[in-house]
Amino acid sequence: MDPRWIPPIDFSPSPTHGTPRESPHDAGPWSLRHLHLDLRVSFAAAGAGRLQGRARLELRCERDGAGGAELRLDAHPALAVSRAALLPPPGGPGDAAGQALPVESRPFASYGSALHIALPQAPRAGQLLTLLIDYEAGEGPGVCWLSPEQTAGKQKPYMYTQGQAVLNRSFFPCFDTPSVKFTYSATVKVPEGFTAVMSATSWEKQKDNTFVFKMSQPIPSYLIALVVGDIVSADVGPRSRVWAEPCLIEAAKKEYDGVIEEFLVVGEKLFGPYVWGRYDILFMPPSFPFGGMENPCLTFVTPCLLAGDRSLVDVIIHEISHSWFGNLVTNATWGEFWLNEGFTMYAQRRISTEVYGLPYTCLEAATGRALLRQHMDATGEDHPLNKLRVVIEPGVNPDDTYNETPYEKGYCFVSYLAHLVGNQSKFDAFLQAYVNRFKFQSITADDTLGFFLEYFPELKEKGVDSIPGFEFDRWLNTPGWPPYLPDLSPGQQLMRPAEELAELWAADSLNMEAIEAVDIMGWRTYQLVYFLDQVLQKSPLPEGNVKRLSKMYPKISKAQNAELRLRWCQIVLKNNLEAEYSKVKDFLHSQGKQKYTLPLYRAMWGGSEATRALAMETFSATAPQLHVNVQNYVKKILGLAAAEA
């Protein structure tokens, strides 16, 4: 998941019913060998459409006497099960429709329910069972239905699923835990004029507007994703294509042509073979509230990445890095999310260093460190979420624990492991060996750190896991600021000029000769972002300075790059530059990404009467095109209603 989407955090546990197991459900004695989904998607004139489904689960019992004659799956109140049946063994006697089984949905927690299916008898270890479940899904939190107004084309509705962390239980009945991996296939029938795509290794269109998918590598449930919309594709590399609505496809092709392959090749050099076949990118409608989601073979991204000048293409490196860390080697529980995200941040910055150089990567990492500082200042360093091994109590939605810590503190821990090794090429070799050892598995931090010490026996002998102040146990289980911070000083050669230029613009009388001597035309995105962050910190600037800054740097004030637009809009609001309020309105009309939308509404609401009026006017015009969660968060900022859970 994009590291810069951090929701407003509510730490209160959901109500639980009975005695639920660790959330999310574990699979008990079962392993899932394969899942097949038969889906029929229909849109409604307004609101949520319907998804009629049949799930076939090929199960294996791994141990005797556990779980009794009952199977428990994760589901959701929005998922209505009409029938469950046990299919006869292939080629064996019995009704092809299967033996009907009693099935009951029981409350579990606020984010889902438990599906209890009674089996004819307790299974034996090694026994194979095939289960068929007929169901219908609609308004669940993992199945998002967009009206035409919420799309780029504004003509047709759109549907997508978002599984991370525990939302796919509202899309299909499953073991909704990252500890269970399985292959899957799907047949999806959609209305004429629509196309279906999924996170799958193969894709085929058949007659009657039916699409057939197959994922030949085992993945956890949260990585199964479906989109149905008016979408088309264009090739941008030997194993990559971009997907988008027709009105965006040319921009997407132009922006990403040849780019993805360069990043993939560097990733393979560092971390080993790319095992997923294709790497496609789907540009989502503007209302998509996230930055990106690393669904294998088909990453979902915000259309905000289409800056028109390739200035944001490096954002995709994070999602590409998940191809090794997260999708191939996966955290077994959401309480150790840093195994996905800390390693991915490290991998992203290794690729970035190879492609863009160390100074630029250190500058980007410094912005990440600043976000971690902001987060820890806001929550308090000793908040229990500010450790790498988080205890997620039964009934607590894992999504409610999402924050910067697993990303940036996790990155610091992986950097510390590299520091202990003391040789980059040796640590790169370790990462390849780690991926190879645990590929297609779900693991714990104990597995990771045990393998590290096994791979470097000389470090194990030295007792590096228990160096006072840097103990592995402290990294995992003690909240607070990272005990070790990697050296980001190479970034100073890019930071210093940006800091000095911001100082010049904050002066009471502008030294135009010194300002004009600085050429920002060659600055890449993160250097410009760093400069604008400095200007924002010094705002409001002396009267007239921002107006002159705007005129002098059209590269900034007229940018299509969303990262620059966000900061420019914040500067406009902080300095009450009414002549450019229209840019704030235009930016909020053009997209609905949460990371960009909420800070601007906070800035408007915390400003003058004029900016408050601008906030109300803009929200009333754009609310229908926003994701419902983002609508609710904005309402809360504007005092219009309590944010809904």
Task: Give the annotated binding-site residues for a peptide.
Answer: 162-164, 289-294, 593-595
What are the structure tokens assigned to 204, written together?
């085929």
Structure tokens at 561: 């790059």
Q: ∠329-426-239 over CA atoms, to 5°?
A: 50
Is 633 an active-site residue? no
Please name the residues in contact with 131: beta carbons below 8 A apart, sequence gap of 6 or more: 56, 57, 59, 71, 84, 85, 86, 87, 101, 117
Q: What share of the chain is helix, strand, coil (3-state, %, to 5)?
A: 40, 20, 35
Element (H, E) at 135: strand 128-137
The string of DSSP codes covering 164-221 is TTTTGGGTS-B--STT-EEEEEEEEE--TT-EEEES-SEEEEETTTEEEEEEEEEEEG
Helix (H) or strand (E) holding 356, with range, is helix 338-356
Compute and round to an integer the Cα radius of gyration of the chain. 25
Within a 10 A sphere around the Cβ of 524, how many other Cβ atoms? 14
DSSP state of 325: B
Q: Is 319 a catalytic residue?
A: yes
DSSP per-residue string spanning 475-542: HHHS-SS-S-----GGGHHHHHHHHHHHHHHHSSS--HHHHHT---TT--HHHHHHHHHHHHHHPSPS
- Beta-ladder partners of 119: none
DSSP state of 132: E
CA dihedral 617, 619, 620, 625 (to 10 degrees): 140
Annotated active-site residue in 407, 526, 530, 633? 407
Report how far Cα 535 is from the mean position of its chain's Cα atoms.
Answer: 30
Pairwise CA distance, residues 438 & 446, whole Å: 13
Sequence-ordered list of residues with C-beta below 8 angstroms from that of 15, at least 6 positions apart, any chain: 109, 110, 395
Closest to 49 in 3D by CA, of 212, 190, 204? 190
Please write down the HEC assignment for all residues of 572-610.
HHHCCCHHHHHHHHHHHHHCCCHHHHHHHHHHHHCCCHH
State whether residue 104 is helix, strand or coil. strand
* Bind-site residues for Zn(2+): 318, 322, 341
Dig out the tokens for 167 from the structure. Answer: 């939302």
**DSSP conformational letter for 644:** P
3-state secondary structure 422-473: CCHHHHHHHHHHHHHHHCCEEECHHHHHHHHHHHCHHHHHHCHHHCCCCCHH
Tokens 């250097």 belong to 527
Cis omega before residue 307 (within 30°)?
A: no
Reading the block at residue 603, the tokens are 């800035």
**477 burial type by CB count under 10 A (0-12 exposed, 13-18 middle, 19+ buried):** middle
Instruction: Catalytic residue, from 160, 222, 256, 319: name it.
Output: 319
Residues at the binding site are 162-164, 289-294, 318, 322, 341, 593-595
Sign (positive/negative) of CA torsion 81, 83, 89, 90?
Answer: negative
Residues with a catalytic annotation lie at: 319, 407
